[in-house]
C-alpha cells in the first residue's frame, strides 16, 4: 500500500522560547494553522462551539460550512484524494459525530488521509447519557488508524499533531480527535512543536534487499507476468516510478478501480481495469498469468472473484506498506513491505541486473493478450427503448473535459461506466468510494476536490439514487463559490440493484423504481431542485443535445451546474463476472459478445 510520504504532512516550525497561554479551543485552531492546513469542512454544535469562536478570527483557515456532517467527511476525503494532503472535518458530539462515521469508514477502506475533530460533552458528564453524548472513540475504533480522546487542554497540540502524523504516513487513513468541552474551555501553555510519542507506530518504508532481488528474479524468469496495480500506487505518489518499471519489464499492466489513472490508459501496455466489471483482457491476464506482481493492491473480492480459483498458476510478489495486507487473501511467494515509491525504484534496478543473465521473452504472452484486445473491445449496445445510452453520456463528458479534469463518482452502474469509459491519464483524477461503496459520496467529494484543485474542472458523476442522499451540499457549493459540475445519470432506478434483479431474480424489480426521470411526474424534479439551490440546471433527453450541455457546464464557472441526463433503465454494465465464481470466463464472454461490441 502507500508510501510514508503518501499525504503531505507539514512539519512544524522550530520551538519558540516562550509558550503563550491559550484556551484549548484556541489551541485547536492554532495547531491546524501551524500544520499548514488551509481548508476545513464542518458544522458547529454545542460541544464543539468553543472551537468555532476562535475559528472565526483565523485568517489562515477557510472553514466551509456544510449542510450535513457526512458531507464534511466526504469533502475532506475528496480534498485529500485530489491533492495528496490531509483533509480535515469538524463536527459536534453525539449525532454530529456519528454522522461522520460513514465517511470515516469510507476513508478507512480506501486509505484516505483525513483528520476528524469532534466535540465531546464535559468530561464529568461522560458515561451519564448526557445530552448529545456518544462514545465516538469507541464507535470509530475499528474504522480509524487511531482515535484520541482529549480531556486536558495541554494535550490538544500533541494530539492534533500526532493525528496528522498518523493519518498521512504509512498506509494513510482516518484519525479521530475527540475533545471534551471542558478541555476546549480550559487554558494551558501552548507548546509548539509538541513532542509526539507514538509507541509501536513505526511504518516500515525501506524494503528488504533480498526480497527485492527475489522479486526481480521472478519477473525476469516469468513467461506470463502481470503488474497488478492497486490504489496504493496513487497514495504513494509513485505513478512515474510505476511507468518506469513497466516499460523496463515490458509486462502488461492492469489498474484496479482505486488505481485508475495510476498508469495512463493510452499506454500500449495497459490492459484496463480487472475485476467484476473489468475488461476481458485485464481479467484473463490475471487469471492466466504465471506471475502476479501486486503493487499496493489487496486482492479484493471484486477483483479475484472466488479467491480459491483466482490465478491458479501464478506465483505472487506482493508489495504493500501495510504488513497486515501481505498474504491476507493470497499467500505471497515474495512478500515485500515498504514504501512503493522506493520499492519500485529498487525493483527496476534489480530487474535490469537480473535480466542481463535471464532475458525475459514474453512475446507469446503479448500475442495472446493482443488477441483478447482485438476480440473483446470495450463497448456497449444502444438501448432499445429510445432513451439515451448512459455510456455515451459519460464517454462524452470525459472526451470534452479531457485528462486534466477531476471525476468523482457515486456508487453503482454510473460508477462502473465512469471507470470504463473515461480515459484516465494521470493520478488523482478519479475519485470514488471503492471499498465501502458509499452512495452519496460524489457531490461532497467533488466539492472537496474543487476546493483543493480550484483551477481544474471537477465533475460529480452521480446516479439519481446517490444524488438524493447528499445533494444538499449544492447549497454549500453555491454559497461558497465552489463551481462543481454534476452529471446525474438518471435512469429512474437504483440501477445496479436493478441489474442484479434482471440477471439473478427473474426481473422481479422489488423496490428499485425511483420515479425520477421517465414519467410525466418527476419526484423530485432535479432541474427545479438544482435551481432552488442556486445552480444552473439543464435537462438532456436526446443524444444530439449532450455535447452542448456539457460545453455549457464547462464554460460556467460562477456557480455549480447540474445536468439531468435522462437515460435508459435497461442499460447494463458489461462485462460482468457474477459474484462468487471463477474469473475463468472466456466462454461466458463469448456467449455475451454483443455486450462487448461498440455500436457503429
| CA–CA separation, 492 and 531 (whole Å) | 20
| CA–CA separation, 567 and 394 (whole Å) | 11
* Catalytic option among 4, 69, 77, 288: 69
| CA–CA separation, 178 and 228 (whole Å) | 38
Q: How far is CA 556 from the centre of its chain?
A: 26
Q: State the cell numbers at 134.
A: 456518544
| DSSP E strand stretches across 297-388 | 315-320, 334-337
29: left (phi over 0), alpha (psi -120 to 50) or beta: alpha
Q: State the cell numbers at 198.
A: 507514538
What is the CA angle 493-499-505, rounded to 5?
110
| DSSP E strand stretches across 434-475 | 458-463
Q: Is 181 a catalytic residue?
A: yes
34-71 CB burial, b ≥16 within 10 A, e <16: bbebebbbbbbbebbebbbebbeebeebebbebbbbbb
Which residue intervals of 189-333 are DSSP H helices? 209-221, 232-235, 239-249, 280-288, 301-304
Q: What residues have CB less than 8 Å from 516, skipping those under 6 apart?
A: 464, 468, 490, 492, 522, 523, 524, 526
What is the CA angle 234-236-238, rounded to 5?
75
Q: Do the Cβ atoms of 554 and 485 come closer than 8 Å?
A: yes
Residue 461: Cβ within 10 Å count: 29
Q: How far is CA 167 from the centre of its chain?
A: 15
Q: State the cell numbers at 42.
A: 464542518
Nearest of 144, 129, 203 to residue 178 by alpha carbon: 144
Q: State the cell numbers at 523.
A: 419526484
* Catalytic option among 132, 213, 382, 472: 132
* Catalytic option among 85, 145, 181, 485: 181
* Catalytic option among 273, 276, 447, 496: 496
Q: Which residues are registered as beta bridge partners of 174?
A: 114
Which residue intervals of 154-292 are DSSP H helices? 156-168, 181-185, 209-221, 232-235, 239-249, 280-288
Q: Is 69 a catalytic residue?
A: yes
> Is the previous residue joined to 475 through a cis bond, with omega within 30 degrees of 0?
no
Residue 306: Cβ within 10 Å count: 14
| DSSP secondary structure letters along 31-88 | HHHHTT--EEEE---GGGHHHHHHHTT-SS-EEEE-SSHHHHHHHHHHHHHHHSB-EE
Q: Is 132 a catalytic residue?
A: yes
| CA–CA separation, 271 and 369 (whole Å) | 8
- Catalytic sites, residue numbers: 69, 131-132, 181, 496
Amino acid at each position: 500500500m502507500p508510501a510514508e510520504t503518501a499525504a503531505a504532512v507539514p512539519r512544524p516550525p522550530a520551538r519558540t522560547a516562550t509558550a503563550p497561554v491559550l484556551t484549548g479551543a484556541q489551541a485547536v485552531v492554532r495547531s491546524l494553522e501551524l500544520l499548514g492546513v488551509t481548508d476545513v469542512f464542518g458544522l458547529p454544535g454545542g460541544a464543539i462551539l468553543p472551537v468555532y469562536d476562535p475559528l472565526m478570527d483565523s485568517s489562515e483557515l477557510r472553514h466551509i460550512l456544510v449542510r450535513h456532517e457526512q458531507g464534511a467527511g466526504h469533502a475532506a476525503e475528496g480534498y485529500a484524494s485530489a491533492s495528496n494532503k490531509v483533509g480535515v472535518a469538524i463536527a459536534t458530539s453525539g449525532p454530529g459525530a456519528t454522522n461522520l462515521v460513514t465517511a470515516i469508514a469510507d476513508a478507512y477502506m480506501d486509505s484516505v488521509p483525513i483528520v476528524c475533530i469532534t466535540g465531546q460533552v464535559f468530561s464529568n458528564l461522560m458515561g451519564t447519557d448526557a445530552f448529545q453524548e456518544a462514545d465516538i472513540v469507541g464507535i470509530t475504533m475499528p474504522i480509524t488508524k487511531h482515535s484520541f480522546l482529549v480531556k486536558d487542554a495541554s494535550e490538544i497540540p500533541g494530539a492534533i499533531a500526532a493525528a496528522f502524523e498518523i493519518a498521512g504516513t504509512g498506509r494513510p487513513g482516518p484519525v479521530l480527535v475527540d475533545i471534551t468541552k471542558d478541555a476546549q474551555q480550559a487554558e494551558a501553555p501552548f507548546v509548539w512543536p509538541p513532542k509526539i510519542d507514538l509507541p509501536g507506530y513505526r511504518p516500515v518504508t525501506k524494503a528488504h534487499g533480498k526480497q527485492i532481488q527475489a522479486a526481480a528474479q521472478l519477473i525476469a524468469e516469468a513467461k506470463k507476468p502481470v503488474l497488478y496495480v492497486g490504489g496504493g500506487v496513487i497514495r504513494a505518489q509513485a505513478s512515474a516510478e510505476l511507468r518506469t518499471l513497466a516499460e523496463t519489464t515490458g509486462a502488461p499492466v492492469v489498474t484496479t478501480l482505486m488505481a485508475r489513472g495510476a498508469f495512463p490508459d493510452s499506454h500500449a501496455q495497459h490492459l484496463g481495469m480487472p475485476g467484476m466489471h473489468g475488461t476481458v483482457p485485464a481479467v484473463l491476464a490475471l487469471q492466466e498469468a504465471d506471475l502476479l506482481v501486486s503493487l499496493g493492491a489487496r486482492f479484493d473480492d471484486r477483483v479475484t472473484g472466488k479467491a480459491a480459483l483466482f490465478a491458479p498458476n501464478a506465483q505472487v510478489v506482493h508489495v504493500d506498506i501495510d504488513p497486515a495486507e501481505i498474504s491476507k487473501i493470497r499467500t505471497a511467494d515474495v512478500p515485500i513491505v515498504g514504501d512503493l515509491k522506493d520499492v519500485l525504484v529498487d525493483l527496476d534496478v534489480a530487474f535490469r541486473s537480473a535480466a542481463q543473465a535471464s532475458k525475459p521473452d514474453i512475446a507469446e504472452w503479448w500475442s495472446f493478450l493482443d488477441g483478447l484486445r482485438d476480440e473483446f473491445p470495450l463497448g456497449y449496445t444502444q438501448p432499445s427503448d429510445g432513451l439515451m445510452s448512459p455510456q455515451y453520456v459519460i464517454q462524452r463528458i470525459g472526451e470534452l473535459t479531457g485528462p486534466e479534469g477531476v471525476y468523482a463518482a457515486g456508487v453503482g452502474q454510473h460508477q462502473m461506466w465512469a471507470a470504463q469509459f473515461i480515459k484516465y491519464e494521470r493520478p488523482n483524477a478519479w475519485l470514488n468510494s471503492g471499498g465501502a461503496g458509499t452512495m452519496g459520496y460524489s457531490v461532497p467529494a467533488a466539492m472537496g476536490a474543487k476546493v483543493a484543485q480550484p483551477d481544474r474542472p471537477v465533475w460529480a458523476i452521480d446516479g439519481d439514487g446517490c444524488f438524493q442522499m447528499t445533494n444538499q451540499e449544492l447549497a454549500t457549493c453555491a454559497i461558497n463559490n465552489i463551481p462543481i459540475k454534476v452529471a446525474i445519470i438518471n435512469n429512474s432506478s437504483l440501477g445496479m440493484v436493478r441489474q442484479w434483479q434482471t440477471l439473478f431474480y427473474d426481473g422481479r424489480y422489488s423496490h428499485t423504481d425511483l420515479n425520477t426521470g421517465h414519467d410525466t411526474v418527476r419526484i423530485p424534479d432535479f432541474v427545479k431542485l438544482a435551481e432552488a439551490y442556486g445552480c444552473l440546471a439543464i435537462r438532456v433527453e436526446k443524444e444530439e443535445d449532450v455535447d452542448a450541455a456539457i460545453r455549457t457546464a464547462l464554460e460556467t464557472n460562477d456557480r455549480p451546474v447540474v445536468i439531468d441526463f435522462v437515460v435508459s433503465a435497461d442499460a447494463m454494465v458489461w462485462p460482468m463476472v457474477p459474484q462468487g465464481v471463477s474469473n475463468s470466463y472466456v466462454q461466458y464472454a463469448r456467449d455475451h459478445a454483443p455486450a462487448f461490441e461498440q455500436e457503429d
